[in-house]
């Protein structure tokens, strides 16, 4: 697959980030001292951001990103109030905040408060938590929502260090992507320090009734007391996962590694906030089978947090590398046959997203390097950067050999530590440090087809699939009329079950659904991944026995990847539309603001 994309052979010296309105190449932030109070009654964060800045090019102003912030005042380091200008909002990007500075200006303080459309913030009522007694707040800043809870230069290529003072209602704990407390502060005032420079999308805050349990001396888990033990039991291997990651690609450079398990409304699976991964409680399956999500977020501490995509057009550098790294960790823990199941499932996902994007008339979004100019940064958030990106790296590994590839990756992380990188810079580095002089490898891999071409290249590195062969035999037997209890399903992991459920024909008869359910108890499973596919199959097969559980699931779970397919399926029939509307009317307030916007487009 060849194409003539003109960018393919250029190396861009400085990356153009289309999703920040800031002027960081002229005047940029260096350090933040944040001082905020969290007001649950008004659903507002209010306070000040004191920024140390560097005026690189004698600029007359410094520009910050904001989204729906009220700017109360700006004070310069000489004590003068600045005549700032807050522009009208621009589609997807928010409002540029212009602050006039002189060459001598070294710092300034912005007094501000958040608005009702703070897209990074989800404010939960006590009923929406596990404990039911206290409210909860968390942020989700990636991709470009940090600007909705603090004025910042919000681009992945702009790093700074920070410290923070955060005041919360007494009795609650506050945590950040920083050095964290392990006990509740009596006065509700918490101090944080992050002395490793990070981009704004890694700014994070969580506030609620939270307890802590140590796993070992550098890892631990935070969660609401009601689920703390469950979370701890699920994550007892986390220390080991960090050790494995270090053996693969070098030291973990962030000090502690803790995980915060959030209430069910959390819109995604996990977020790699430095020092403190945020994750959904839907991975608490009771058997550690979904802990690869933690491996994924941990891996981001190399691919993403250490070496960062320069712009959201280069997002595959964060996610593709992380999926590849995550699979290497999973392989080290559970073996090759196990991780091959993940590769096989993700190949199906990849085919599906390529079909979807083609149907939507967005074939260029199937490229690894994409162009999001004028669009929402989240338009790039598909399985393409994840699964096509990871497969590309697997292909390189298989072509050059694992030993060489591991040495290369380790050097890549070391030599680009705490820097941001474009796709073009990566490809140049790849060429100079791995492929140079090996025309046979270059021909086998065909970098251009993978990075700048559409769809799935013909040399996709398919993996052998011993365990799914057995699953497919059981599907065939069931189709041929075998009863569920006669199928051989001993020792099946979550992934065998997912393969089984995803590949059953649809619709099945009510008798078949009942037979499966009576034998394997899918309707009442504790495993959210299995639940999700089972409910999808139930909708397709009109298996109403599962509906009450499905409704309960949709009502409490905010994880978008589970919600979308179920609502989409319901919207295909008149009865389904009725059901979708009634479920959504009740569940909507439990979803994150961005998830609401998304589901609003499906259920209408
Ligand atoms: N960094 C992402 C989450 C993200 C990306 C949020 C872009 C907003 C914008 C995180 O590491 C991630 O990929 N999470 C996945 C986990 C999965 C691939 C194991 C998720 O939430 O489903
Ligand atoms: Zn990720």
User: What is d(CA 447, CA 451) in angstroms, rounded to the nearest whole number?
Assistant: 6
Model confidence at 292, pLDDT cuts 50, 70, 90, reads: very high
Q: Which atom of ligand 1 is nearest to the CA of 378?
A: 9
CB 68 within 8 A of CB 94: yes
pLDDT tens readout for residues 520-534: 999 999 999 999 999
Q: Is 496 in the pocket of ligand 1 (CB under 6 A)?
A: no
Q: Which atom of ligand 1 is nearest to the CA of 377?
A: 9
CA of residue 103 to ligand 1 center, whole Å: 40
Q: Tell me: pLDDT of 81 over 80.
A: yes
* pLDDT at 15 (0 to 100): 86
CB 267 within 8 A of CB 560: yes
CA of residue 326 to ligand 2 center, whole Å: 9
Active site residue: 222, 386, 543, 591, which one? 386
**Cα–Cα–Cα angle for 242, 243, 248, nearest 5°?**
95
Q: Tell me: pLDDT of 368 over 60.
A: yes
Q: Is 387 in the pocket of ligand 1 (CB under 6 A)?
A: no
Residue of 143, 204, 301, 319 with the most ligand 1 atoms within 8 Å of its CB, for mutation: 319
CA of 271, nearest ligand number? 1
Residues in the chain: 604
* pLDDT at 303 (0 to 100): 98
CA of residue 9 to ligand 2 center, whole Å: 27
Q: Is 143 in the pocket of ligand 1 (CB under 6 A)?
A: yes
584 belongs to the catalytic site: no
Q: Is 270 in the pocket of ligand 1 (CB under 6 A)?
A: yes
User: What is d(CA 146, CA 418) in angstroms, rounded to the nearest whole number?
Assistant: 19
Q: Is 383 in the pocket of ligand 1 (CB under 6 A)?
A: no
Closest residue by Cα to atom 2, ligand 1, is 271
Q: Is 268 in the pocket of ligand 1 (CB under 6 A)?
A: yes
Listed in sequence order, the DSSP H helices in 250-335 are 292-299, 316-334
CB 380 within 8 A of CB 370: yes
Q: Tell me: pLDDT of 352 over 80.
A: yes
297 belongs to the catalytic site: yes
Average pLDDT, rounded, for the chain: 96
Q: Tell me: pLDDT of 391 over 70.
A: yes
pLDDT tens readout for residues 176-220: 999 999 999 999 999 999 999 999 999 999 999 999 999 999 999
Tokens of 529: 């991944």
Residues 6 or more apart whose CB falls under 8 angstroms from that of 110 comprise 48, 49, 50, 51, 64, 71, 74, 97, 99, 151
Model confidence at 7, pLDDT cuts 50, 70, 90, reads: very low
Listed residues: CB within 5 A of ion ligand 2: 319, 322
Mean pLDDT of 25-36: 98
Active site residue: 61, 234, 272, 297, which one? 297
CA of residue 356 to ligand 1 center, whole Å: 20
pLDDT tens readout for residues 98-124: 999 999 999 999 999 999 999 999 999
Q: Tell me: pLDDT of 69 over 70.
A: yes
* pLDDT at 3 (0 to 100): 36
Closest residue by Cα to atom 1, ligand 1, is 271
Q: Tell me: pLDDT of 6 over 60.
A: no
Q: Give the rounded percent of residues in the chain with a pLDDT score beyond 90.
A: 98
Q: Is 269 in the pocket of ligand 1 (CB under 6 A)?
A: yes
* pLDDT at 4 (0 to 100): 36
Q: Which atom of ligand 1 is nearest to the CA of 280?
A: 21
Q: Is 271 in the pocket of ligand 1 (CB under 6 A)?
A: yes
pLDDT tens readout for residues 537-591: 999 999 999 999 999 999 999 999 999 999 999 999 999 999 999 999 999 999 9
Mean pLDDT of 295-324: 98
Residue of 19, 144, 264, 268 with the most ligand 1 atoms within 8 Å of its CB, for mutation: 268
Q: Tell me: pLDDT of 473 over 60.
A: yes
pTM for the full predicted model: 0.97
* pLDDT at 14 (0 to 100): 62
Q: Which atom of ligand 1 is nearest to the CA of 143?
A: 9
DSSP for 157-169, please give it.
T-EEEEEEEEE--
Mean pLDDT of 314-337: 98
């Amino acid at each position: 697959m060849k194409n003539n994309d003109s960018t393919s052979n250029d190396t861009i010296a400085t990356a153009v980030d289309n999703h920040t309105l800031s002027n960081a190449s002229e005047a940029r932030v260096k350090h933040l001292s944040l001082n905020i109070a969290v007001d649950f009654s008004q659903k507002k964060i209010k306070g000040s951001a004191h920024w140390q800045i560097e005026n690189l090019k004698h600029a007359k102003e410094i520009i910050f990103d904001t989204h729906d912030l009220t700017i109360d005042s700006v004070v310069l380091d000489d004590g003068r109030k600045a005549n700032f200008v807050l522009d009208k909002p621009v589609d997807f990007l928010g409002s540029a905040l212009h602050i006039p500075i002189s060459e001598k200006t070294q710092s300034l303080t912005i007094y501000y408060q958040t608005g009702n459309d703070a897209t990074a913030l989800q404010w939960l009522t006590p009923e929406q938590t596990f404990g039911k007694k206290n409210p909860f707040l968390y942020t989700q800043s990636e991709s470009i929502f940090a600007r909705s809870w603090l004025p910042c230069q919000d681009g992945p290529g702009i790093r700074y260090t920070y410290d923070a003072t955060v005041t919360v209602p007494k009795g609650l704990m506050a945590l950040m992507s920083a050095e964290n407390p392990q006990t509740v502060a009596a006065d509700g005032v918490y101090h944080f320090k992050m002395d490793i420079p990070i981009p704004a999308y890694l700014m994070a805050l969580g506030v609620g009734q939270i307890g802590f349990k140590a796993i070992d001396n550098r890892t631990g888990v935070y969660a609401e007391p009601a689920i703390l033990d469950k979370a701890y039991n699920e994550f007892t291997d986390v220390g080991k996962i960090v050790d494995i990651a270090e053996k693969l690609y070098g030291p973990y450079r962030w000090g502690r590694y803790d995980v915060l398990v959030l209430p069910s409304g959390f819109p995604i699976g996990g977020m790699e906030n430095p020092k403190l991964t945020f994750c959904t409680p839907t991975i608490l399956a009771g058997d550690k089978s979904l802990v690869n999500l933690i491996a994924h977020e941990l891996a981001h501490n190399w691919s993403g947090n250490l070496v960062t995509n320069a712009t959201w057009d280069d997002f595959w550098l964060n996610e593709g590398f992380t999926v590849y790294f995550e699979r290497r960790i999973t392989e080290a823990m559970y073996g090759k046959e196990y991780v091959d199941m993940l590769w096989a499932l993700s190949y199906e996902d990849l085919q599906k997203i390529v079909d979807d994007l083609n149907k939507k008339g967005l074939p260029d979004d199937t490229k690894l390097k994409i162009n999001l100019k004028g669009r929402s940064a989240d338009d790039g958030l598909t399985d393409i950067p994840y699964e096509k990106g990871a497969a590309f790296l697997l292909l390189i590994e298989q072509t050059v050999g694992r030993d060489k590839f591991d040495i290369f990756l380790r050097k890549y992380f070391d030599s680009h530590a705490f820097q941001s990188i474009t796709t073009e810079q990566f490809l140049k580095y790849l060429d100079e440090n791995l492929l140079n002089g090996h025309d046979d490898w270059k021909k086998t891999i065909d970098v251009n087809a993978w990075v700048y071409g559409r769809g799935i290249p013909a040399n996709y590195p398919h993996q052998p699939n011993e365990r799914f062969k057995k699953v497919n035999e059981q599907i065939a037997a069931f189709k041929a009329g075998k009863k569920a209890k006669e199928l051989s399903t001993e020792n099946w992991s979550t992934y065998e079950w997912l393969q089984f459920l995803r590949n059953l024909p649809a619709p099945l008869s009510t008798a078949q659904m009942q037979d499966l359910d009576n034998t394997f108890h899918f309707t009442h499973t504790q495993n959210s991944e299995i639940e999700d596919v089972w409910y999808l199959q139930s909708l397709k097969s009109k298996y109403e026995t599962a509906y009450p559980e499905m409704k309960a699931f949709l009502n409490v779970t905010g994880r978008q990847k589970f919600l979308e397919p179920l609502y989409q399926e319901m919207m295909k029939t008149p009865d389904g539309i009725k059901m979708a509307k009634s479920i959504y009317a009740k569940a909507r307030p439990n979803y994150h603001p961005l998830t609401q916007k998304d589901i609003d487009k499906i259920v209408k």
